[in-house]
Amino acid sequence: MVIRAADTSDAPALADLWRAAGIRFRAEHVAAELASVLARDPDLVLVEQDETGAITGSVFGTYDGRRGWVNRLATSPARRGRGIATHLLAELELRLIARGCPKVNLLIEPGNAGVARFYERLGYRLDELVFMEKWIIPNETWHTCQPAGSGQWHDLSPELHAIPYVFATAPEIPAGVSPFAVIREDEALTLVLPRADADRAGLRYDHVAARITLRINSALAAIGLTAAVSRLLAEAGISCNVIAGAAHDHLFTAWPRRHHALTLLRTL
C-alpha cells in the first residue's frame, strides 16, 4: 500500500474513484477544488495507489487553523476490506497533529449514516450540532431542483432493481401477467413489465431497460426533479423514461448503462 499526497494531475482519477464509491460531487468542479485545497494544504489531500499505480483510495483533508476536516474518504469498491480507508485516515491525523491541529471533524449525510460505525471504531464520537449552510455564489445551481412549497432535494436515494424490464404492446393484458405499469393509448396498451414475464407471455419488445426507483418522497406537483434527472443522464448519453407514482419516481434507463446511471444519480 502506497499513500502519497495528491497533485492536480490526479483530478480525473479522483473523480472516477468517487463515482465508483457513490460519493456525491460535481465532476466539473473537481480540478478547481483540488487546486484550491492543494494551494493551501498541499499535504492533506491523500491518495492510495495499488501495485499498478492506480488510485484506489482517497481522503480530502483540510485545516482551517482551528480544526481539521475529513472529506471524501473513499475506497474503490474492488479493494474494500483491506484497511485502505483506515490507513488513509490515520495518515491524515498524523499530518494534522504535525500542524498543531488539536481536533478533527467530519460530517455524515443521513443517507450514509451507516458509515458512522466505521468512524466510531477509530475513536470518533457523535456530537449533537445543527448544521447550516448558505450558497453565496448565486449561479451555484447544483442542488436546486426544488419541490413546490418546500426545501431542496438533497438525496434522491436511487435504488437499482436487479432484473431487466421491457415496454411491450398488446391489445389487452395477457392472463397471468401483472405489469408494473400500464399506459392506455389509442393504438394499444403499453405494458411495462419484467422481461421474463414478457417472454413467458410471448410479448414482443425492442427496448430492454433497467428500473431505478428514486426512494425520496417526491410530490406529483414537485417542480424540477424530472428535468434535473433527465438533463444529468442526457449529458452522459443515457436514455431515460420516467414513470411517476404517487410516492416515487421510477426511471427506466438503458440496461447496459444501468450502473453508470446509478452512479450519476447518486451525485445529485
Given a cut of 60, whether residue 259 has pLDDT beyond it is yes
Q: Residue 198: what residue type?
A: A
CA distances, 184 to each of 40, 55, 170, 175, 205 (Å)? 60, 50, 10, 17, 17
Q: What are the residue ranges of helices labelled H in the chain?
A: 11-21, 30-40, 84-98, 116-121, 195-201, 225-235, 258-265
pLDDT of amino acid 224: 74
pLDDT tens, 137-196? 654 444 433 333 333 455 678 899 999 999 999 999 999 899 999 999 988 999 999 999
User: Taking residues 63-77, what's their average pLDDT?
Assistant: 94
**CATH class of the 158-265 domain in this structure:** alpha beta
Given a cut of 80, whether residue 219 has pLDDT beyond it is no
User: Taking residues 42-67, what's their average pLDDT?
Assistant: 94
Among 74, 99, 93, residue whose Cα is nearest residue 84: 74
Q: Does the global pTM surpass 0.95?
A: no
CA 56 to CA 76: how far, in whole Å?
5
pLDDT of amino acid 139: 45
pLDDT of amino acid 24: 79
pLDDT tens, 20-51? 888 878 787 888 889 989 998 999 999 999 99
Q: What is the mean pLDDT of the chain?
A: 87
pLDDT of amino acid 105: 95
pLDDT of amino acid 265: 87
pLDDT tens, 1-20? 799 999 999 999 999 999 88
58-67, 74-83, 96-105, 123-132: segment of lowest average pLDDT = 123-132
DSSP 162-210: EEEEEEEEESSPPTT---SEEEE-SS-EEEEEEHHHHHHHT--EEEEEE
Q: Residue 153: what residue type?
A: W
**CATH class of the 2-121 domain in this structure:** alpha beta
CA 215 to chain centroid, in Å, comes to 13
pLDDT of amino acid 149: 36
Domain boundaries, the chain: 2-121, 158-265
CB 104 within 8 A of CB 91: no
CA 250 to CA 253: how far, in whole Å?
10
Does the fold of domain 158-265 match that of domain 2-121?
A: no
pLDDT of amino acid 218: 63
